Chains A and B, each alone.
Chain A
Amino acid sequence: MKKVSVSFTLNGDPVTADVPVTWTLLKTLRDYFELTGAKEGCGVGECGACTVIVDGQAVNSCLYPIPEVEGRSVTTIEGIAEKDGSLHPIQTAFLENNGVQCGFCTSGMIMSAKALLDQNPDPNEEDIRKGIAGNFCRCTGYVQIVESIEMAAKADK
């Protein structure tokens, strides 16, 4: 199969991936870089479990063709805690406020929340709900996820 060589920034590090041209960003992250935090919940852009941040925007990496990542900056769930292991405020808030249950939606949920808070540090409930509208969760009923994001926004101030 025809391969491409794609260079981009991944969680702050310059990287190059040599992968089949048909691969998505999600597949590349999971199978080439072994960053398995982003999950495939549907593979067709409906559930948000695969959400990562590309140049500041939350995207469904299961739909994102790898060639289009060239030159961009990609942040995944593995790249938001501090190097010393201390958690990002959104991660802490999810643990403290039960924003995570089974955790399968969580990587994507947190990345959507991060993209939102990076753009709008002071969102109201509706902004938050819109920010995670594409992220499905079966466990939580979203209530404590929304609260976690509110909590993280406050903690960041």
Chain B
Amino acid sequence: MPDHLFVGKSIPRTIEADKVTGKAVYINDLKRPGMLYGKILYSSHAHARIKSIDTSMAKQLQGVRAVLTGQDIPDVRVGFLKDQTVLKKDVVRQFRDEVAAVAAISPEIAEEAVSLIKVEYEKLPAVFDPFEAMKEGAPLVHETDARGRPLKSNILPLPWKFAVGDMEQARKDAAYIAKDTVSTTWVNQCCMGTSGCIAEFDQNNNLTLYDQTNVIFGHIGRISEYFERIGLAGKKIRVVNPVVGGSFGTKLDTDIYEFIAIQLALNTRKPVKILFDREEEFCALPPRQPAVFTIEQGCDKEGRLIFRHCEAILDNGAYTSWGATTPSVMIMPMSSLYRVPNVYFKATCVYTNNIYAQAMRGYGNPQATFAVETSMDSLAEAAGIDPAEFRFINRNRPGDETPMNLKITSCGLEECITAVRDRLQWDQKRGKQRGRGVGMASLIHVAGGARVTKSDGHGIRVKLDEFGHVDVIESGTDQGQGSPTVISQIVSEALGVRPEDIFLTFGDTALALWDAGTHASRHTFMAGNAAVIACAKAKRQILDMAVELIPRLVKGEFKRMKRKDPEFVEPDLDYGLIANPEDMDIRDRMIFPKKDPDHPYFKVPISEILRNGLHVGIGESRVVAAEAFYDPPTEMLNRDMKGNLSMTYAFGTTGVEVEVDEETGEVQILKLVAAHDVGKAMNPTLLLGQIYGAGYTGVGYGLTEEIKVRNGRVMNPSFRDYQMLTAMDVVPIEAVIVEPGDKDGPYGAKGVGEPGLVPTAPAIANAVYDAIGVRIRDLPITPEKILTALKERK
């Protein structure tokens, strides 16, 4: 097998040159003829009855084209549990409740119109703490469920429960047990590009939605369902992505503003754009879900885990989006990070009058891993075993099947733990305290798709023109992860062309086949596999033509030469070399016989074959095009929450060395080592970017980031107050790439988009503990918390 020409190489992102020249068109930049601008009026209370809405002044403002309230649009429920309507007409249950919407000829007029809408409310008792909300007699956030049946409690009807083994016996068998309660808070995805979309109907009421979603087909599913209920059943919906300014989970669900844009467009018969400002991004976009975990683990005398028992309470906020399904992902680290035979996990989602939550990079994994890895340190201490050693003892290994029935194929966790230990000089540094410490945490994550919907498929189309240009129509989306480059590398390699020959179209449902979504770190794995299959088909078409055409072309050339020069003697060639497509290959734009790759006559540019195959002059012309739909043989979770939902799993370990200033409580990261089993690095430079970026977000999660929600209201809706890390927050980060190769991945690759974030916060918390001997169990680890904990210790 010759070396790869493109896969595994740090090919620059030249394909995305528009992004460095200001040419890339984001939703912010996109305009449609006659387009109007939509704005939303949000609630002014966390829980209140709407007594009246007066839109008369707003309607009179010049330039306003529509003012809608819940009275003006069909009363249709949307969302994961169908627990809200698009515009709220009776009761508001959180500050971000959408009460009215305006479309106007400019954003400024729309904004002014919104400020002219008068709403009269009657306040209702509210509840902001999930533990309070669970108590009997707590104010009910919802009086009825989606079907109108009365509700008695704020607890959601989502029984997230996982149990394997004999917990009672396991407790008896354990030599050491540790119990911790840890909590995590709301964090914002902080996409630099804010949310937005343009909804546009044609004359026949077919919808084109210019939208940043990373689940283009799921979007269509949800909007079609809505259409059915508002009298637009059967209408065609096309979702088109502009260039997307970051996603990180925000674009997984269909948000309320998207339905509002659709309603405004329907009402005005004009394209309508809604674009969030930064404050809306903080207040009206569902962030990462907060959770409180009580976790208990036990091990035997040798340090082998015997059981893990954990209960989680999740603040659901007032409505249900994907945030409420994060426990399905939490089950993965709970059951399968490290070898542990007896596992119990239960998660309860509770309605409150807080903002509701959605997905963010890693889904529920960062929260759950914070719990597991805090507990791993506690238990290691109880057992008197070095925490790195303790993790090593319990590491996952290739060939394991976990209590959740995950089938572990490739697994580089051993190498990751060892690499972190070495690079941090763990054994010298651990346990010295005096303000400096080291800590580590590991992760498991899906890395070969994630069957969370019935199809986990991904389709791809490949077509070549007569010049050898390759159009690749991807059914995934590009939110900045580098897929245009990586997919072009895979296609070039598989087809035998060059990355600069590849032209990619992402995110257009009218052109693409189907995809479950660019989420769950699945894109490279899924699209890569689909591309390999489609390219093999296209390549075969080319080679079929080549075996026919090359002898003809060569003989024709000889004839011409003979005509020119009667002396010319036709060389005696072995046409058997190119008799079968199997005997031919394509590499770097050239077709050649495998047995004689540099054959002077049989090595032919791909474009020559494509051209001669198309322009033949009789009714036999051919084009080369192929498609593939790859759906891996994985399983959905069954009723017991078991199932091998991914073809393969990512593993990794993050280690950090910190210095803690006991006077100020400041934590400084002296070194962060992120070791990741990625299967195979498709593009090492781009891969590092994923690890660095995710690692940084993880540091923010660990140390600074927090949406401060007081009585349901977001108190810090700006970058400055939110404290996202800047370039001045230096994190000396070192990535270690472990490449065991994965048998099912394209060229051995596994997914890597989310993993870097997952173990970062617990690694920091564990390092802080090593440095100063106090354990912070509540994220983020702020100086105030450290100072308080130090005071309590004294």
Contact = CB atoms under 8 A, between A and B. Distances in A.
Interface stretch (B615-623, B723-731, B744-752, B776-784): B723-731
Contact of B727 (A94, A103, A129): A129
Given A104-B245, A130-B728, A138 B24 contact: no
Contacts of A143: 688, 692, 696, 733
A128 B697 CA distance: 21
Contacts of A110: 20
A103 B692 CA distance: 16
B23 A142 contact: no
A71 B359 CA distance: 48
Contact of B245 (A43, A76, A102, A146): A102
B480 interface: yes
A136 B728 contact: no
B761 to A, nearest CB: 15
Contacts of A44: 278, 718
A95 B484 CA distance: 12
Contact of A38 (B22, B24, B731): B22
B17 interface: yes
Interface string A132-143: 111111111111
B726 A102 contact: no
Given A46-B719, A102-B246, A36 B192 contact: no
Interface residues of B, number: 53
A55 interface: no
Nearest to A111: B22
Contacts of A95: 12-14, 16-17, 20
A96 B12 contact: yes
A102 B191 contact: yes
A129 B729 CA distance: 9
Interface stretch (B25-33, B53-61, B450-458): B25-33
A103 B191 CA distance: 11
A28 interface: no
A139 B192 CA distance: 9
Contacts of B21: 37, 77-78, 81, 87, 91
A116 to B, nearest CB: 12
B61 to A, nearest CB: 14
Interface string A83-111: 00001000100111110111111110010
A94 to B, nearest CB: 5
A18 B128 CA distance: 50
A135 B245 CA distance: 15
B290 interface: no
Contacts of B246: 101-102, 104, 138-139
B22 A77 contact: yes
A123 interface: no
A144 B730 CA distance: 13
B727 A142 contact: yes
A46 B723 CA distance: 11
A41 interface: yes
A110 to B, nearest CB: 6
A104 B193 contact: yes
A134 B724 CA distance: 12
Given A96-B12, A98-B13, A37 B23 contact: yes
A105 B12 CA distance: 18
A47 to B, nearest CB: 6
A103 B243 contact: yes
Interface string B476-503: 0001111000000000000000000000
Interface residues of A, number: 52
A103 B242 CA distance: 12
Contacts of A98: 13, 482, 685-686, 688-689
A152 to B, nearest CB: 11
B681 interface: no
Given A46-B719, A98-B482, A39 B28 contact: yes
A42 B278 contact: yes
A47 B245 CA distance: 14
Nearest to B696: A141
B697 A129 contact: no
Nearest to B278: A42
A35 interface: yes
Interface in B266-303: 277-278
A106 B724 contact: no
A153 interface: no
Contact of A100 (B13, B244, B277): B13
Nearest to A78: B22
B695 interface: yes
Contacts of B481: 101
A145 interface: yes
A144 B688 contact: yes
B730 A129 contact: yes
A103 B16 contact: yes
Contacts of B764: none
A107 B22 contact: yes
B718 A41 contact: no
A59 interface: no
A138 B724 contact: yes
Given A98-B686, A141-B693, A47 B479 contact: no
B26 A101 contact: no
Interface string A56-72: 00000000000000000
Contacts of B482: 98, 101
Contacts of B278: 41-44, 46-47
19 contacts: A39-B245, A42-B277, A49-B192, A81-B21, A87-B20, A94-B20, A95-B13, A96-B685, A102-B192, A102-B245, A103-B16, A103-B19, A129-B727, A136-B726, A138-B189, A139-B693, A141-B694, A142-B696, A146-B727
Given A106-B19, A141-B693, A141-B696, 12 more contacts: A38-B22, A42-B278, A77-B20, A77-B21, A96-B13, A102-B243, A102-B480, A103-B19, A104-B246, A136-B192, A138-B189, A138-B246
Interface of B: 12-14, 16-17, 19-26, 28-29, 189-194, 243-248, 277-278, 479-482, 685-686, 688-689, 692-697, 718-720, 724, 726-728, 730-731, 733
